[in-house]
Amino acid sequence: MTGDPAEQASKLRALLAEHDRRYYVLDEPQISDAEYDQLLLQLRALEAQHPELIRPDSPTQRVSGSPAAGFAPVTHGIPMLSLDNAFNAEDVASFDQRVRERLGVSGPIDYCAEPKLDGLAVSLRYRQGLLMQAATRGDGATGEDVTANLRTIRSVPLRLHGEVPEEMEVRGEVFMPVAGFARLNAAAMAVGEKQFVNPRNAAAGSLRQLDPGATARRPLDAFFYALGQWRGGEPPSSQTGLLSQLGRWGLRTSPEARLVRGVEGCVKYFAELGARRSELPYQIDGVVYKVNSRADQERLGQVSRAPRWAIAHKFPADEARTVLRDIEFQVGRTGALTPVARLEPVLVGGATVSNATLHNMDEIERKDVRRGDTVIVRRAGDVIPEIVRVLPEFRVKGARPVHLPKVCPVCGSPVIRDPDQAVARCTGGFTCAAQRKEALRHFASRRALDIEGFGEKLIDQLVERQLISTPADLYALNATTLAALDRMGEKSAANLLEALEHSKHTTLARVLYALGIRDVGEATAAALAEHFGSLKAVQDADLEQIQQVPDIGPVIAAHVHEFWAVPDHRKELKRLQDAGLKWAEHAPAARPSPGPLAGLTVVLTGTLGGYTREQAGEELRALGAKVSGSVSAKTDYVIAGAEAGSKRARAEKLGVAILDEAGLKQLLAGRRPGPAKN
């Protein structure tokens, strides 16, 4: 190839991108691997001679840069929702009935049926067709930036094919094909390394490698199936149309996706795919049904964490029969005692199971589980195995019921159980080694203080040698102490101390989560931090003030209040601060202006011409309004687009002001209009 170097590079990039599309998307390769590699070598040589020609979408740039120190958080503009589950045909029929009732349809609904991949959900953002960012699902609201790692997956296009929107977000699943998983484990076994349990764990671990080069060496693949945010042009009007469009852009979609009609079509597809499940080149754990019309999807909307227009039909869990040898009680971070069944090892769902959860004493009593019983054990995917039922006909003579221990099996402190609760708890607190270990693991975990390297075995050593007992003790560790531990050395000790130093600069939300306040998860910790702004304000808040935080009820408020009523907890925070732990705070008076729509509660319904409901909701929130999913007497406005249904009717019944799209535009301009004409 001769001529202008820029023109040569452009032609080579386009040619390689087209061959990638034919190989990965169309499954119609036109050249051999050797010929492809030769083209790639030509492009590399050309870019080496003319570095100014290197572009982010060049195939030579799939692996670039140094290993990252960690993954930056990415906030999803539109949350990545979970799916409700169906476990049988009756559940699917109930889902279909709800859909038809909400849409006011009597006849059968068209659904797009797709395999439910057993992988890791991701979001990719393209601007002008160029891949700009990739993130994991995370908790649905916030994920991790894995752009460098996603770029290494050959089936993921760095630049989309054909005409594309100005900016869009596509969502899909990264997975590891079964054959690639087998090769990966065979290679690990050959060099004596730890093997992965299943392809899903392998995919998740591979995508979260800090070195993109390590990810590039893993056999990852991806399918795409959804849109997030969108700007420029009109999105396809159906789910099947979306899948076709994704394919035209060069994004792989499942070849097993089908358009089916009604419950009968869904159940037939489920049975047919289930019969071929073991033949598929990737693992699936069920089928997803989505209402095919995207307009109907908009009308159906969502509940807090799941869309109303889609459901996952899970394959039956694998079960096996075995003998329960013993029941032990484990003590968790909050002192909760969890009964664990020790089983005669049995193969269930492709894995050997020797332990199973029994949840709590209510569960033991309800199922009448006794030591020595023959039981049925269930395992579904990565879910912790559980005892489904006891087979009383095999019960040994003299088997006695199991009783809750009166004292903690770890520290000997009294065990208490509130009459209205299923959970029993050890009263030992930090004096209990089990609670210390779990509390410290939680404090150092990735979503808390994210102290890299402080894993389970290291914390076990430190607690058992009485080197640490509370979180603040972590920051008093030194290189000499760490280097003397098992399987440690000077380099590892230095890395751990660096990780500890790095963790000292964090956020108030992470600190509140890391402290392990009962029932305070990430979302609640973030809400407390946002509402109060400072740790002192959280500590000094009374029950009524805590309950003013959005989505915090009286039970969690009581737990937060009780936590700070314990003097030792306040002393521990002081020790952490003295050790150098810092977090950003803002006084309530220094908070940003609440916005012109502060105090308004707005509900969106129907199809809006100029916006999706997600876009409109996002802009309304930015102006200070609360966007709710249901209409109540406290609702200020219902914005009703075309084909608005039950929410408009409820607004009329309650006398809530109803706005059309002109009213929405006034709100977005910061003005509060009067009600639209009904």
Domain boundaries, the chain: 5-61, 85-314, 319-394, 429-503, 507-590, 601-668
Residues 150-169 have a mean pLDDT of 90
Q: How far apart are CA 210 and CA 205, in angstroms?
A: 10
Q: What is the pLDDT of residue 629?
A: 66
* pLDDT confidence bin for 261, thresholds 50/70/90: very high
Question: Which is more confident, 79 or 242?
Answer: 242
Average pLDDT of the residues in 407-435? 82
Mark whether 504 is an active-site residue.
no
Residue 611 has pLDDT above 80, yes or no: no
- The more confidently predicted of residues 430 and 79 is 79
Q: Residue 590: is it exposed, middle or buried by C-beta count within 10 angstroms (0-12/13-18/19+)? A: exposed
H or E segment and range at residue 314: strand 310-314
- Which of the following CATH numbers is that of domain 507-590: 3.40.50.300, 3.40.50.720, 1.10.150.20, 3.90.950.20? 1.10.150.20
**Could you give the CA distance from residue 20 to residue 60 in angstroms, rounded to a whole number?**
13
Q: Is the pLDDT assigned to residue 107 strictly greater than 50?
A: yes
The percentage of residues in the chain with a pLDDT greater than 70, rounded to a whole number, is 90
Q: Which amino acid is residue 161, in one-letter code?
A: H
Given the residues 116, 290, 314, 647, the one annotated as active site: 116
| For residues 102-109, average pLDDT | 93
pLDDT surpasses 90 at 203: no
Q: Which residue has the higher pLDDT, 640 or 47?
A: 640
The phi and psi torsions of 401 (rounded to 5 degrees) equal -60, 155
Q: Matching CATH topology for 429-503 and 507-590?
A: yes
Reduced to 3 states (helix: H, G, I; strand: E, B; else coil), residue 664 is helix
- Domain 85-314 class? alpha beta
More confident residue, 171 or 71: 171
Write the CATH number of the domain with boundaries 5-61.
Answer: 1.10.287.610
pLDDT, tens only, 121-138: 999 999 999 999 999 988
* Res. 346: pLDDT tops 80: yes
User: What pLDDT shows up at residue 171?
Assistant: 95
Q: Given CATH 1.10.443.10, say whether it is the number of domain 429-503.
A: no
**How many whole angstroms separate alpha carbon 350 and alpha carbon 319?**
11
First-to-last alpha carbon distance for the chain, in angstroms, is: 68
Of the two residues 434 and 507, the one the predictor is more confident about is 507
- Residue 25 has what DSSP assignment? I
Residue 523, pLDDT > 80, answer no
Does the domain formed by 319-394 have CATH 2.20.25.570? no
Lowest mean pLDDT among 203-207, 392-396, 443-447: 203-207
The CATH fold of domain 601-668: Rossmann fold (3.40.50)
- Across the chain, mean pLDDT equals 85
pLDDT score, position 594:
67
Q: How far apart are CA 190 and CA 110, in angstroms?
A: 50
